[in-house]
Amino acid sequence: MKSKMILLMGGQGVGKGTHARRLIARDGYGYVETGAILRALPPESPVAQIMARGELVPDSDLFGVIADAIKNNPGDIILDGFPRTVGQAQWLVKNYADKFDIRVVYMNVPEDIMLARIEKRIREGGGRADDADAAIVRRRLDSFWRITMPAIEWLRTAQGIRFADVDVSAEDVDVNFTRISNALD
């Protein structure tokens, strides 16, 4: 049987990390958290400077990093924050759909809720450098709509994978988690 690969996709603040951790606690997936892997790079590296501006790192800088992370996490895995471009989505399906049962979960919420959740993350002290600056948050949201949404739309109809569009706009995290769990059944 193929291992499962769950792709958690959605804009900033939708709760990808929160729900990834819940799924892992329940089912024991390996975890590839793209943003955290990239944040571990030295602050003077070109990639860190791109991230500090709230821009997306070029696909060519990511493929090796992601391939290594997948290799280092044998068995069922969750990818959080990858893919974020059509090129990344196509690369993933081309190279991994034969080895993994790929399940995309598009965590769908309106932008005003994303913004409210980012503000809450800052208020509760969990905010990151790239959350604190309103202009950078705006840039990341714009790149979500402009660059990542087409990747989500491409995956919605891609052959050989399964795609779920899940409304996670409920206030209650448990309600959203149940919706995600049901979509993955």
Interface residues toward ligand AMP, by CB under 6 A: 12, 34-35, 38, 50-51, 54-57, 62, 81-84, 88, 130, 140
Closer residue to ligand AMP in complex, CB, 15/81? 81
Minimum distance of ligand AMP from residue 152's CB (angstroms): 12
CA distances, 79 to each of 95, 116, 124 (Å): 15, 24, 25
> 10 and 2 in contact (C-beta within 8 Å)?
no
Closer residue to ligand AMP in complex, CB, 30/35? 35
Buried-exposed string 90-124: b where 16+ CB fall within 10 A, e elsewhere: bbbbeebbeebebbbbbbbbeeebbbebbeebeee
Closer residue to ligand AMP in complex, CB, 62/180? 62
Minimum distance of ligand AMP from residue 95's CB (angstroms): 15
Closer residue to ligand AMP in complex, CB, 56/70? 56
Minimum distance of ligand AMP from residue 185's CB (angstroms): 26
Minimum distance of ligand AMP from residue 1's CB (angstroms): 28
Amino acid at 71: K
Nearest to 71 by CA among 100, 44, 94: 100
**Which single residue brings its beta carbon nearest to ligand AMP?**
35
Minimum distance of ligand AMP from residue 79's CB (angstroms): 9
Residue 110 preceded by cis peptide, ω within 30: no
